[in-house]
A = this chain, B = another copy of it.
Amino acid sequence: MSFLQINNVWKSYGQAQILERLNLSIDQGEFISMVGASGCGKSTLLKMILGSEVATKGEISLEGKPLVAEPDAERGIVFQKYSVFPHMTVLQNVMVADEFTKSFLLGRCFGSARKQVKQKAESFIDAVGLTPAINKYPHQLSGGMQQRLAIAQALMKAPKILLLDEPFGALDPGIRADMHVLIRDIWKKNNLTIFMVTHDIKEGFELGSRVWVFDKVRHDPQAPMAYGAQVTYDLKLDTDKTPDIAALTQKIAVN
């Protein structure tokens, strides 16, 4: 039995068929990069794994059980934007992750419980390198630092799965490289299963242990929305052996 199982999943919005016939199984600890043209449904699949969207047909199961149909603490997420709380400092942003589950009524801890949460939060903030900015508000942070913060938040809940939707899409190239180091590190240390959508094919190959390429295999020129995308390439990358990215890129672009 695999860790996450996607069984004949279809997804449409109204008339528009977005995804069709997805059959994929994922093992624990994989790092899956998802690439493909804009609007082909990568984020949609991510949302279905997250639970904020429901498949029109088919089923996704986690460790043999059907997925909970709404977001929960088992699955962490980092969006391209807006995934931190603007009214909280870095420390509060991270602490709140534990406070949500520790205090049902107020969502705040006090006294020794607070101390404990704070310590834990500080260690995760340190892990993403935000200690110097611990008392700053998100708007005082650069884009990269905000994404680090979003990752630290997600790690607090020790999720089984981490979902990343173009997490580095809005960052400067220099900063992206740093973030790659960070996320790779976190993946290895926490034995996470990661799904990452990216527009940068190179990034996808660099980070992922497996790459999914999304594309439509059937086209109806009269009804462009009649068919959905599928995973046309499912490449398991041997991390020792760097693949010929340029050639692959070429190949994908032709599709």
Contacts and interface: CB of A to CB of B under 8 A. Distances in A.
Interface of A: 169, 172-174, 199-200
7 contacts: A169-B172, A172-B199, A172-B200, A173-B173, A173-B200, A174-B199, A174-B200
5 shortest interchain CB distances as A-B pairs: A173-B173, A172-B199, A173-B200, A172-B200, A174-B200
Nearest to A174: B200
A173 B174 CA distance: 11
A200 B199 CA distance: 20
A243 B174 CA distance: 19
A252 to B, nearest CB: 13
A182 B200 CA distance: 21
A214 to B, nearest CB: 17
Contacts of A199: 172, 174
A199 B199 CA distance: 22
A141 to B, nearest CB: 13
A92 to B, nearest CB: 26
A200 B174 CA distance: 8
Contacts of A169: 172
Nearest to A169: B172
A169 B174 CA distance: 12
